[in-house]
């Protein structure tokens, strides 16, 4: 969805989006996770990863809040310090939050249904500074009657900004919902518009 050819898709989408459903359902049992929490302009951001790629980017108002969310999702995971590769991924996320008009090329390790993955990949084709409606995303993935399912896929996204569900709005242009708060969604969109316009 959103790509003129399969080669362009594979060039721009190096992520696997591939955490096994069994790993997720077991609360991350057997998974080795690294995570880091850093302040940014809209609060705090947590980046977590397995050896395969980034599995969570969470936004919140405090370090305690985002850490709690991670441990609730993966209560049985083993947490360990990150290596140089992980530090690079964290730096990439922080740099993207500051300058969203650049590419964010990260390997992703996230569990989702085939439909959710189609939606998430379509979201990644929305340019910085632009928005699309839920119905437009449904059309783009070839399921025009699945507007509610598209909205649910957006709400299920756990990779803030890497899968830019904040760029999806209602057909009338209103913001709709956002996992990390409508005010944060508005400010993310404003920041992206300024980045593109040079303001």
Residues annotated as catalytic are 165
Mention every residue, 6+ apart, whose C-beta is less than 8 A from residue 145.
Answer: 138
How far is the CA of 35 from the CAs of 40, 55, 127, in angstroms?
16, 10, 28
Question: Which candidate, 188, 38, 47, 17, places its Cα nearest to that of 119?
Answer: 17
Residue indicated by tokens 């590419």: 103
Whole-angstrom Cα distance, residue 144 to residue 25? 30
Cα 8 from Cα 14, distance rounded (Å):
11
Instruction: Tell me the CB-side half-sphere exposure of residue 39, using CA atoms within 13 A.
Output: 2
């Amino acid at each position: 969805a959103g790509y003129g050819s399969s080669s362009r898709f594979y060039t721009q989408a190096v992520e696997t989006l591939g955490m096994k459903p069994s790993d997720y359902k077991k609360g991350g049992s057997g998974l080795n996770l690294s995570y880091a929490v850093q302040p940014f302009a809209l609060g705090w951001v947590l980046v977590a990863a397995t050896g395969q790629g980034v599995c969570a980017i969470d936004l919140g108002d405090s370090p305690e809040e985002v850490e709690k969310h991670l441990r609730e999702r993966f209560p049985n995971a083993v947490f360990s310090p990150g290596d140089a590769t992980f530090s690079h991924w964290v730096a990439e996320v922080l740099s993207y939050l500051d300058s969203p008009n650049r590419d964010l090329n990260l390997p992703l390790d996230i569990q989702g249904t085939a439909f959710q993955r189609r939606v998430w990949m379509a979201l990644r084709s929305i340019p910085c500074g632009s928005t699309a409606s839920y119905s437009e995303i449904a059309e783009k993935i070839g399921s025009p009657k699945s507007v509610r399912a598209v909205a649910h896929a957006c709400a299920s996204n756990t990779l803030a900004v890497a899968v830019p569900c904040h760029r999806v709005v209602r057909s009338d242009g209103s913001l709709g919902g956002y996992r990390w708060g409508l005010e944060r969604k508005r400010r993310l969109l404003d920041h992206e518009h300024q980045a593109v316009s040079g303001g």
